[in-house]
Amino acid sequence: MRRVKRAEQTTVGWREWVSLPELGIPAVKAKMDTGARTSSLHAFNVRAFERDGRAMVRFEVHPIQRDSKTSIRVEAELIGTRVVRSSSGHSQRRHVIETVIEICGKSVRAEVTLTRRDVMGFRMLIGRKALAGAFVVDPNRSFIGGWPEGVERPRRRKR
């Protein structure tokens, strides 16, 4: 493995808008989670099936937080299943796909597990395997890559 020079790494905030172009998902808010090894995506109605001898998975995604009306139906090649342990110690078997993730104008190919994230603050977590070598996370900043067109910025709360 070649060592990446810091100048080649892109700085990202602890939360960013990312896109998953191979899955047809133009924008989803994600948390850069250096504590998680693998990336995970909120998915529901997950069904594994076979097409032309290849393992596939079909699922739906609510890409926007607090919006259960907007959904995107996705099909992707299934590369396997994996038992993932949460920070609370709970284990869950998840389907795993591989796809391109675009963050702040840079693309990486990464494994992504599919799980229900309804009650979680972010629809997607970007784990350290996807971040390694390509990105540096600045925990003091958010949305360095900007906001996607058509997505409304939330108003600041008065304190």
pTM equals 0.87
- Domain span including residue 116: 9-138
Helices (H) and strands (E) in the chain, counts: 1, 11
What is the reported pLDDT for 2?
47
Write b or e for each residue in 100-137: b if 16 or more Cβ atoms lie within 10 A of its Cβ, otherwise e. ebbbbeeebebbbbbbebeeeebbbbbbbebbeebbeb
Domains contained in the chain, number: 1
Nearest to 113 by CA among 76, 154, 69: 76
What is the reported pLDDT for 1?
44
pLDDT averages per 10-residue partition of the chain, 159 residues:
65 97 95 94 96 97 81 96 81 94 96 83 93 96 89 64
Query: 23 in a domain, yes or no?
Result: yes
Query: 146 in a domain, yes or no?
Result: no
Query: 2 in a domain, yes or no?
Result: no
Query: 26 in a domain, yes or no?
Result: yes
Main-chain phi, psi angles of 118, to 5 degrees = -50, -45
And the tokens for 41? 């995506």
Say what percent of the chain tops pLDDT 90: 69
H/E element, 15 = strand 15-20
Query: 157 in a domain, yes or no?
Result: no
Query: 69 in a domain, yes or no?
Result: yes
Residue 119, SS3? coil
The CATH number for 107's domain is 2.40.70.10
What is the reported pLDDT for 90?
81
